[in-house]
Amino acid sequence: MLRLHFSRNVNPRLAVAASRYLKAPVEYCFAAPFDPAHSERFRKLNPSLRIPILEEEGRAPLWEADAIACRLSQIMGSAFWRSGGGLPDLIRWLSWGHNYFVRAADLVHWERVTRQRYGLGPIRPDFLAEGLAGFSEAAAQLNGHLHGRDFLLDDGLSYADFRVASVLPHADLADLPLADYPAVKACHDRLLTLPAWADPFEGLDAPQLPDVPKI
């Protein structure tokens, strides 16, 4: 038994996309762990209540999208999560993506999208400026690396591409200047040719997130 608890937010979307790309035999369960009606049950799976969470018979619940992608790749016998000599390069891009590219884009997304969507207050200019500056620096580095190549690793598509690009499906909503980095945009466009990436929620019970009010 494999059960993946998810929502439409960035990291759960990433886990669902990886699972569907791998064609893992997973039961997908839309979850709202912070709902008081469900929090007690989910706290037993992840004390932080955050999703995604993978339940696997005979194993402790597994949380965090990267760990889930690793485990599902093991189960499916896939090199999507590299092993052996290719593993350090994969980890390099996961670490870099988390600390720089994804973090910066998340700052922008939080101010322009999440805070507005849930009525958490106006955009904070200092946080937005920090995010945009970080995104510009990281996107320029990523653009240089991707110039003349299709994906991050020399031997083709890997989970690293999914992780680094995890914020890009929300780029338009967050008004990230993706067009300024053509190699990054081209890589994201290639990912969008994969049904599992373009719409990981197709056919699933996955209510839409609230609209973002115009400001």
Which residues touch 125 (CB under 8 Å, ≥6 apart)? Answer: none
Estimate to the nearest angstrom the gap between the alpha carbon of 82 and the chain centroid.
18
Lowest-pLDDT choice from 30-44, 91-105, 184-198 = 30-44
Q: E strands, 57-122, where?
A: 62-63
CB 63 within 8 A of CB 51: yes
| pTM for the model | 0.95
The confidence band for 215, taking pLDDT boundaries of 50, 70 and 90, is low
Closest-CA residue to 166 (of 6, 13, 7): 13
Q: Decide if pLDDT at 103 tops 80.
A: yes
Domain with CATH 3.40.30.10 in the chain: 2-81
Average pLDDT, the chain: 95
Domain 2-81: give its CATH code: 3.40.30.10
Closest-CA residue to 53 (of 37, 72, 35): 72
The confidence band for 211, taking pLDDT boundaries of 50, 70 and 90, is confident
Return the pLDDT at 59. 96
Which residues touch 179 (CB under 8 Å, ≥6 apart)? Answer: 185
Domain with CATH 1.20.1050.10 in the chain: 84-197
DSSP three-state, residue 211:
coil
Domain 84-197: give its CATH code: 1.20.1050.10
List pLDDT tens digits, range 27-40: 999 999 988 988 99
Q: Decide if pLDDT at 174 tops 70.
A: yes
List pLDDT tens digits, range 122-173: 999 999 999 999 999 999 999 999 999 999 999 999 999 999 999 999 999 9
The confidence band for 180, taking pLDDT boundaries of 50, 70 and 90, is very high
Share of the chain above pLDDT 90, in %: 92
Which residues touch 80 (CB under 8 Å, ≥6 apart)? Answer: 18, 21, 22, 69, 73, 157, 158, 159
List pLDDT tens digits, range 37-64: 889 999 999 999 999 999 999 999 999 9
